[in-house]
A and B are shown apart, each in its own frame.
Chain A
Amino acid sequence: MANFETREVVTDLLIVGGGMAACGAAVEAAYWAKKHNVKVTLVDKAAMDRSGAVAMGLSAINQYVGLRDGQNTLKDYVDYVRNDLMGITREDLVANIARHVDSTVHLFEKWGLPIWKDENGAYVHEGRWQLMINGESYKVVVAEAAKNALGIDNIYERIFITEPLMNGDKCVGAVGFSVRENVFYVFKAKAVLVAMGGAVHVFKPRSSGEGLGRAWYPPWNSGSSAYFTIKSGCEMTCQEVRFIPVRFKDAYGPVGAWFLLFKARATNGLDENYMQTRAGELENWKPYGKVKPVPANLRNWLMLLDVMEGKGPIYMRTEEAIAAIADKYKDDPKVFKKKMKELETEAWEDFLDMTISQAILWAGMNVAPEEVKSEIAAAEPYFIGSHSGASGAWVSGPEDLQTPETKKEYFWGYAHMATIPGIFCAGDASGASSHKFSSGSHAEGRIAAKEAIRYIVDHPAAPSVDQKVVDELKAKILNPIDIYEKHYKYTSDPEIHPEYIKPKMFMFRLQKIMDEYCGGVSSQFKTSKALLEKGLVLLNFLREDAEKLAAKDLHELMRCWENTHRMWQAEAHLRTILFRKETRWPGYYFRADTPRMSEDWLAFANCKWHAKTGEWEMIKRPVKYINEAL
């Protein structure tokens, strides 16, 4: 076996991930840990200052309820999320996050995040729930508070968490390796808070060359949350609810400011507005088709219908929107000039704060948005349960937000704890509670951390770890290096070898399977039972070949495991689409053999992988709402 030192870290609460949810967890856990003499450790694969989906910055906080000023109620938020997800939502979780999210946003402001204010000192809204920020350093500021709370000695960066550490059915920590030195890490813990984000590059991206990395979702989140929870035996939920954002085409720059703030329309190549010409289609998706705002997947769907009929390209009418705003100020040339300058700055900041590639693309195409419209398109499918997708682990709700009907289904002791005791989930790692975004993920991290500390106080026994399990995991995790070392000298090109597969080609194979059989971009997000079953056959071959992944160095070793994580996310996704015999989110995916929504499936489609048998169990769970009691 490759010569790696083993380093052991014994702690009480282990936070895996260093993104928005993990940073929230760190701040909260540090406070309660001190009171209860609990040790907290955080591990991130990257540098916390710039890790996760907010690494580049953001230009908006997408969840702010405004309870303080009576802008909205909890019920308003829950209603919005349930409708946007076509009825499939855990309202107890959504409400729990929503009642804490404003506090998180107020903390962000104190920590130094510039939130736009109007002349009366009120937050400037982009939309009903969204606040405008100068967010280039959003992640830096949020990570700083987390680091200051936890202390740098309790934070491990550049450690890739590979596997859960199990003792029978109990999770007793996690293992991983450093991507900087040959060290294998064993973290022993009484509870683990999973917050390793979502997944991209499970599906083939539209880009084909050096722009491969420019997916909307950042290439460094590779399904580690899903893998960790699936492999530890947690029940998973909404694995079929992928997210496909419509963004400016190719660079995936944000459209929120254009749609919400500047009130732009989107039209097809014939200047038709598909939201009007195809309004009739919304009848087919009632009651959700008739709510305002129209759910994200249905807006996608109306657009895709145009695209499939060859009516593209689809354009964001930036020139119209700006002309309409300009028209308001046309009588006062001085105000007009000032307003136009403001608009231009806002439009560019939206890109520069969170998708700099879009600024390069516009500059490369000499785009002046007041003169020319810009193309938008549906990206490829991503797994981001915190945004408008919903995939993640099935977690307990809080006790005080249950009705007698929901309590027996949705409550098992500790809020945001998965079905494996001691595993807590937040952000993209927890499912059926979408629309938490950056702020809600942070809030959920706080909630889950407090509950995890409570769990530790209630269950103080030290984790009992079987050394044999650790040794086996170490051998398995380092195997790609061993395989490479053993074989690479045999061929003229170490990339091409009959005995092994390198992680990049492995990823391309996964992407091709998912793209062609599971409703990716090239099949216009359509699939069917027959296609899915064929895809599963190919995925099985891939799973066998995962044993033959080879890595020439630490960087590639990480790539090997990232792609194994992606593969498991892929299988959970495919199996759940197969299980749900209807189409509920057209615009995210379309089951051509069951093209309509069915009352039978106003239910959660859950799944669970059993380590002992290697089998997947599919589970249907009821949807029960609490909105009437809010």
Chain B
Amino acid sequence: MPSFVILEKCDGCKALDKTACQHICPNDLIVLNKETMKAFNCEPEMCWECYNCVKICPTQAVEVRGYADFVPLGAAVTPLRGTDTIMWTVKFRNGTLKRFKFPIRTTEEGKAVPDGGWGTGTDDLKSPVLFTEPDSAGLPNIPSLKVTQ
């Protein structure tokens, strides 16, 4: 079962209007059982192991067990995603542990400014020059054919 929910750890996102794991799964796999208030993967064989449900769960209740039809048992890969970095722990079948930490973004969350700080080059809807160009391209102009018709 690719992603699975540890029942003891899941609090159903405290019955907020939407559960985090259900909100994020790109394949609509996670469902909250309204009776037990625990989430579960309703179609594990359609899981991509993208880990988005794992990364987003506030209580670390979601984990992944490698696809049993080709992955030997015993390994675990566990992320801890912060605001600007992600930490990974890779546990091998033989017990070896490796840890990695990678940056994930250089700006503050929510602060991506669409024009990236570049003035726009043109007001002409007909020209091939796009919003923020040609400055954002780092070019004096957007190239075209050498010999035009």
Contacts and interface: CB of A to CB of B under 8 A. Distances in A.
Interface of A: 27-28, 30-32, 35-36, 45-47, 49-52, 55-56, 67-69, 74, 96, 99-100, 102-103, 106-107, 109-114, 134, 136-137, 140-141, 144-146, 148-149, 158, 179, 207-214, 218-220, 250-251, 344-345, 348-349, 352-353, 356-357, 359-361, 363-366, 398, 400-404, 407, 415, 446-447, 450, 453-454, 457, 555, 558, 626, 629-630
Contact of A457 (B50, B64, B74, B125): B125
4 tightest CB-CB pairs across the interface, nearest first? A211-B67, A112-B107, A110-B116, A209-B69
Interface centre among B69, B72, B117, B130 (most CB of A within 10 A): B130
B138 A68 contact: yes
Interface residues of B, number: 83
A626 B143 CA distance: 14
B104 A356 contact: no
A212 B44 CA distance: 9
Contact of A111 (B68, B77, B107, B142): B107
22 contacts: A47-B23, A50-B26, A68-B138, A100-B130, A103-B130, A110-B118, A209-B67, A210-B69, A211-B68, A213-B48, A213-B49, A214-B49, A218-B50, A250-B71, A348-B100, A357-B49, A360-B66, A363-B77, A363-B93, A366-B92, A398-B128, A403-B145
B97 to A, nearest CB: 10
Contacts of A352: 77, 79, 88, 100, 102
Contacts of A137: 104-105
A106 B145 contact: no
Contact of B90 (A111, A209, A359, A402): A359
A363 B75 contact: yes
A466 B1 CA distance: 47
Contacts of B79: 352
A348 B137 CA distance: 32
A146 B107 CA distance: 15
Contact of A68 (B31, B86, B139, B142): B139
B27 A102 contact: no
Nearest to A30: B114
Given A112-B112, A450-B125, A629-B145, A219 B27 contact: yes
B12 to A, nearest CB: 16
Contact of A360 (B50, B71, B118, B146): B71
Interface in B48-106: 48-52, 64, 66-77, 79, 81, 86, 88, 90-94, 96, 98, 100, 102-106
Interface of B: 1-2, 23-28, 31, 42-52, 64, 66-77, 79, 81, 86, 88, 90-94, 96, 98, 100, 102-107, 109-118, 120, 123, 125-126, 128, 130-134, 136-139, 142-149
B75 A364 contact: yes
A107 B136 contact: yes
Contacts of B110: 144, 148
B136 A103 contact: yes
Determine chain A's interface SS by DSSP, over half rule.
helix
Contacts of A109: 116
Contacts of A251: 70-71
Nearest to B46: A213
Determine chain B's interface SS by DSSP, over half rule.
loop
Contacts of A110: 112-113, 116-118
A103 B137 contact: yes
Interface centre among A52, A67, A146, A400 (most CB of B within 10 A): A400
B93 A364 contact: yes
A134 B103 contact: yes
Given A56-B51, A209-B69, A219-B27, 12 more contacts: A47-B26, A50-B52, A110-B117, A113-B106, A145-B112, A146-B114, A210-B44, A210-B67, A360-B64, A364-B71, A398-B128, A401-B144
A74 B77 CA distance: 42
Nearest to B120: A31
Contact of B66 (A107, A353, A357): A357
B43 to A, nearest CB: 8
A422 B35 CA distance: 47
Contacts of B70: 207, 211, 250-251, 361
B124 to A, nearest CB: 10
Contacts of B75: 360-361, 363-364
B146 to A, nearest CB: 6
Nearest to B91: A363
A546 B130 CA distance: 43
A345 to B, nearest CB: 6
Nearest to B143: A99
Contact of A56 (B43, B50, B68): B50
A212 B46 contact: yes
B131 A46 contact: no
Given A30-B114, A207-B67, A210-B68, A56 B52 contact: yes
